[in-house]
Amino acid sequence: MIETAERLKTVQEYYFSRKLREVRGLIAEGRPVINMGIGSPDLAPSSKVIDAVQNAILEDGAHQYQSYQGLPELRTAIASFYKNSFGVQADPATEILPLMGSKEGIMHISMAFLDKGDEVLVPNPGYPTYTSVTKLVEAVPVYYDLKEENGWFPDLDALEAKDLSKVKIMWVCYPHMPTGASATKEQFSQLIAFAKRNNILLVNDNPYSFVLNKNPQSILEIEGAKENCLELNSLSKTFNMAGWRVGFVLGSPEHISAILKVKSNMDSGMFYGIQKGAIAALQSTDDWYNSLNDVYEERRNLIFKLVDKLGCSFDSKAVGMFVWAKLPNTVSSAEAFIDDILYDKNIFITPGTIFGSNGEGYIRFSLCVTKEKIKEAIDRF
């Protein structure tokens, strides 16, 4: 074996990649495992989306390399989606870049703006990819605490009291994954002002706005936000298209062109059919969001019952595609708790600790499980 790069030694295989291998092993042994771990939508995209991709594959040029910036028509559809959803204006020519999922955007942004040794503010708890990508580009994650008692919002005064001179990027994610907390407009403004004072690029990762959320928001709604903010968004959860790999980033022309410099050296455009399907999805009407949320609401009510049965508590005002549940004080390890349930009841739940040390004492349930399966899980206790 050839010695790997030093940077690879700073990261581990992604938790779900390892744990789901274990879960598959249990299923292969014949165990009836119910997977409540991962947020991979099990529902289908709309029929308009399926029609669009089917028709597209027969069009001339459909199988050629595509533009690095995506079809102009896709960027226009993204601009209209942001205008209609949030009242945010973005120039499709210069302020929008389609991505193959927002996860790859985390890498592109980091490659575009971080040098070795730069520091990155990462939420604890938060999406693990912010940390691993930071390490892969040889920058340094600096965790900021999110605590239930502060509504999972950072203490910006405490942060500002630290030396932030090496910090280049701050990752935020509202609505927040895994907790489902929302930020108010006032809090977005505070974050932007904090980042401006400290010369930090603020990135809001926003894939959950449209799931069980009555008040979808974009950080770019705040006046002047584009000067130092980027926003990532994704079709994965909103339109049940996780496996398609479509997302996008919005920001100032200068920031977007820096990201394009990286991206255009890494891939050669998104498949035409996927872009056509994405355009159809972005043009969805209220019926789409209502029917999606009806299903998730029914499932969430059942998960609340399961959570009660496990002696856990939850915030009924939380939004998004997960239920974040607080374990009883008698439980000292979330990982031991979920492993007991996995081996004993054949139910896989995510331990809060994979999102950071502040996730200890919590577990996360995905709503991407049919109501029949959730009822079966309840019956197993």
Please give the residue ranges that form the binding site for ligand PLP (CB under 6 A).
39, 101-103, 127, 173, 177, 205, 207, 234, 236, 242, 247
Nearest to ligand PLP of 69, 102 (CB atom): 102
Would you say 123 or 164 has its CB closer to ligand PLP?
A: 123
164 versus 273: smaller Cβ distance to ligand PLP: 273
CB of 237 vs ligand PLP, minimal distance in Å? 7
For the CB of residue 3, give the shortest distance to ligand PLP in the complex, in Å: 30
Nearer to ligand PLP, 234 or 346 (CB): 234
Q: Is 176 helix (H, G, I), strand (E, B) or coil?
A: coil
Q: Minimum Å distance from CB 52 to ligand PLP?
A: 19
10 or 40: whose CB is closer to ligand PLP? 40
Backbone φ and ψ for 323, nearest 5 degrees, come out as: -110, 125
- List of E strands, 13-166: 34-35, 96-99, 119-124, 140-145
| Whether the Cβ atoms of residue 275 and residue 248 lie closer than 8 Å to each other | no
The nearest distance, CB 191 to ligand PLP, in angstroms, is 16
Residue pair 126/175 in contact (Cβ under 8 Å)? The answer is: no
Q: 71 near 353, Cβ under 8 Å?
A: no
Closest approach of Cβ 333 to ligand PLP, in Å? 23
CB of 53 to ligand PLP, least distance (A): 17
Peptide bond just before 154 cis, omega within 30 deg: no
CB of 329 to ligand PLP, least distance (A): 28
Whether the Cβ atoms of residue 98 and residue 278 lie closer than 8 Å to each other: yes
Residue 239: DSSP 8-state: T
| Between 338 and 368, CB nearer to ligand PLP | 368
What is the DSSP secondary structure assignment for residue 240, as one 8-state letter?
T
Of residues 40 and 187, the one with the C-beta less far from ligand PLP: 40
Say which residue the tokens 């040794």 belong to.
117
Judge contact between 275 and 41, C-beta under 8 A: no
If you compute the radius of gyration of the chain from its CA atoms, what whole number of angstroms results?
21
In this structure, what is the dihedral angle of CA atoms 39, 45, 46, 51, given to the nearest 10 degrees? 170
Q: For residues 75 and 164, which CB has a smaller minimum distance to ligand PLP in the complex?
A: 75
The one-letter code for the residue type at 372 is: E
In angstroms, the CA 358 to CA 349 distance is: 17
β-sheet bridge partners, residue 99: 247
Tokens of 255: 């920031």
Q: Which of residues 237 and 276 has its CB atom nearest to ligand PLP in the complex?
A: 237
Asked whether the bond before 125 is cis by omega within 30 degrees of 0, the reply is yes
CB-based contact 91:253 (threshold 8 Å): yes
**Phi (first) and psi of residue 10, to 5 degrees:** -85, -10
Give whichever of 218 and 346 is closer to ligand PLP, judged by the CB atom.
218
Least distance from C-beta 201 to ligand PLP, angstroms? Answer: 17
Peptide bond preceding 92: is omega within 30 degrees of 0, i.e. cis? no
Q: How far is the CB of 199 from ligand PLP (least distance, A)?
A: 25
Q: Sort strands 322-326 and 362-366 into parallel, antiparallel or unpaired.
A: antiparallel
Distance of closest approach, residue 156 Cβ to ligand PLP, in angstroms: 21
